[in-house]
A and B are shown apart, each in its own frame.
Chain A
């Protein structure tokens, strides 16, 4: 797994006037055309395996316990023993309080531990407490931190606040990779999605991520396309490759393949790796596994034959 090219220095506060506009209908038409791609046979198996390797297997519930997290880590390590040569998922994603458990459970594997932080999911607390939340996650062994932006500040137009907050949290992350959750379901327009993406990348995000999974709509293809286009333009402007993580609402293998088609045709070869693209999902893995099994056997599958966690 290749790590994203970490920036020595973030490029600073962006010129917001130069952020291109986004036309919603045009985006939806492009998405519809991408979804018309027909992925069959070998191409489909390759896509399914790639998708599997990009999954951040996630549990983010108030009822999470060490026992639940250990089970999830077991699932991450043993996706479906009946199938040999499966790729590993990319990471297990938990709350900060569960990072230590996950770290221990995944010891000796290449599966990364990812923690949400910064008063996830609402982000409605002070920067000071957010930084402490991040420190808890990092000190507990998180490889990756998924923060939420302050949507309230963003929506009232205080872009500098959002930028400074991300910068501060990036610094607190140290070696841990920072994914910045825009919570696009609360932003209202694709123009704001684009703007928030640019702010996050300029403030030092290693990844930008659509959603917490706690707000509907979570990840959508139009939102993801706009974020991928922002990543592409940022790459052209700075030579830095930022990763992308759609999260929430992607539960079917077919959807995952559509996202990969979109990724391939927007960013190309360099991004077709778990180092730069993740799916934040809990139930996607099993559907992908069922599809892989179907491709191998020719028979449609039943969920009863695939362990839930």
Chain B
């Protein structure tokens, strides 16, 4: 417990250089209050129903007990995502854009904390700073796309009959995302944003090595007016959860980012049970400009074509 209790302060010290700890050197030593990292499901922060955890070693040598989410946690998260879907898919793109911009604002305001957490997870200070900045910018990028991608990908189709015919995008539904192993925060943001800005809801499994930044990001979402259930974030082991992510019959699409061939085979095989859309983002350089694109939004959109007669 003592190890756990120390970690936030250490992290803050390392990021700020002249933080509380620096002042603490000369003062009476104060016992820092450690943060408990939990899951984010349906707008709440429950512990895993399984009671399981995994010990996560921070760079300062302390341990954090991270929730090891179970398939039941995933089931609850999917139920929350499904319940939130109608409202989020039906929200105006303008509102979704506003909320995503708000997420960026909240992250900006807490960037020092995220730098510190990434450093606790083993990222160098320089890289952590770059990653947090890139994550904020990526959110702004997708906030801007919210009311534009439709115009890029829609079409009025000039059919050979007296009908008005158009095709436009609609969100696929509930999307399950297994975030890339790294970068922890930017990888999560880069996969979350294109799906959710497009009106999907979903469940994300944070990178195993980045539970602190991932779950703190859930707090950012929570404080940025993202409606409950739109985004659900779990921590745990991809090895045991992938099967359930891929096989759940109420999940409409699955995104995975890591290149293990067996994992890919497992996802694709199980996804076929309900003809899930399978989106592989193996090998994407998330920290480059190629890590963002409206085509990533289109990955979790369905094209709907509508016909109507033109007449008196």
Structural contact, B309 and A188, CB atoms closer than 8 A: no
Consensus secondary structure, chain A interface: helix
List residues of chain B with CB within 8 A of the CB of A188.
Answer: 312
Is B310 part of the contact surface with A, judged by Cβ < 8 Å? yes
List residues of chain A with CB within 8 A of the CB of B310.
Answer: 25
Is A307 part of the contact surface with B, judged by Cβ < 8 Å? no
Within 8 A of B (CB), among A26-77: 26, 28
Within 8 A of B (CB), among A153-192: 188-191
- Contact digits for B283-312, partner A, Cβ 8 Å, 1 yes 0 no: 000000000000000000000000001111
Structural contact, B312 and A189, CB atoms closer than 8 A: yes
How far is A23 from B311 in the complex, measured between Cα atoms in Å? 7
In the complex, the chain A residue whose C-beta lies closest to that of B161 is A25
List residues of chain A with CB within 8 A of the CB of B309.
Answer: 23-26
How far is A24 from B310 in the complex, measured between Cα atoms in Å? 8
Is B223 part of the contact surface with A, judged by Cβ < 8 Å? no
Consensus secondary structure, chain B interface: loop
Size category, B interface? under 10
How far is A178 from B117 in the complex, measured between Cα atoms in Å? 91
How far is A28 from B312 in the complex, measured between Cα atoms in Å? 12
How far is A206 from B283 in the complex, measured between Cα atoms in Å? 79
How far is A26 from B309 in the complex, measured between Cα atoms in Å? 8
In the complex, the chain A residue whose C-beta lies closest to that of B308 is A25
Looking at B162, B310, B311, the one whose CB has the most chain A CB atoms below 10 A away is: B311
Looking at A23, A24, A25, the one whose CB has the most chain B CB atoms below 10 A away is: A25
In the complex, the chain A residue whose C-beta lies closest to that of B162 is A25
- Contact digits for B54-97, partner A, Cβ 8 Å, 1 yes 0 no: 00000000000000000000000000000000000000000000
- Contact digits for B152-189, partner A, Cβ 8 Å, 1 yes 0 no: 00000000001100000000000000000000000000
In the complex, the chain B residue whose C-beta lies closest to that of A27 is B311
In the complex, the chain B residue whose C-beta lies closest to that of A190 is B312
In the complex, the chain B residue whose C-beta lies closest to that of A26 is B309
How far is A91 from B311 in the complex, measured between Cα atoms in Å? 37
Write the nearest CB–CB distance from A298 to chain B, whole angstroms.
39
In the complex, the chain A residue whose C-beta lies closest to that of B163 is A25
List residues of chain A with CB within 8 A of the CB of B312.
Answer: 24, 188-191
List residues of chain A with CB within 8 A of the CB of B162.
Answer: 25, 28
Within 8 A of B (CB), among A76-113: none
How far is A120 from B163 in the complex, measured between Cα atoms in Å? 38
How far is A23 from B312 in the complex, measured between Cα atoms in Å? 7
List residues of chain A with CB within 8 A of the CB of B163.
Answer: 25
How far is A188 from B312 in the complex, measured between Cα atoms in Å? 8
List residues of chain A with CB within 8 A of the CB of B311.
Answer: 23-25, 28
Within 8 A of B (CB), among A185-231: 188-191
In the complex, the chain B residue whose C-beta lies closest to that of A188 is B312
How far is A74 from B312 in the complex, measured between Cα atoms in Å? 44
In the complex, the chain A residue whose C-beta lies closest to that of B312 is A189
Write the nearest CB–CB distance from B307 to chain A, whole angstroms.
10
How far is A24 from B309 in the complex, measured between Cα atoms in Å? 8
How far is A24 from B312 in the complex, measured between Cα atoms in Å? 6
Return the 4 tightest CB-CB contacts between A and B, nearest first: A24-B311, A25-B309, A25-B311, A189-B312
Q: What would 12 A/B residue contacts be, using CB atoms closer than 8 Å?
A: A23-B309, A24-B309, A24-B311, A24-B312, A25-B162, A25-B163, A25-B309, A25-B311, A26-B309, A28-B162, A188-B312, A189-B312
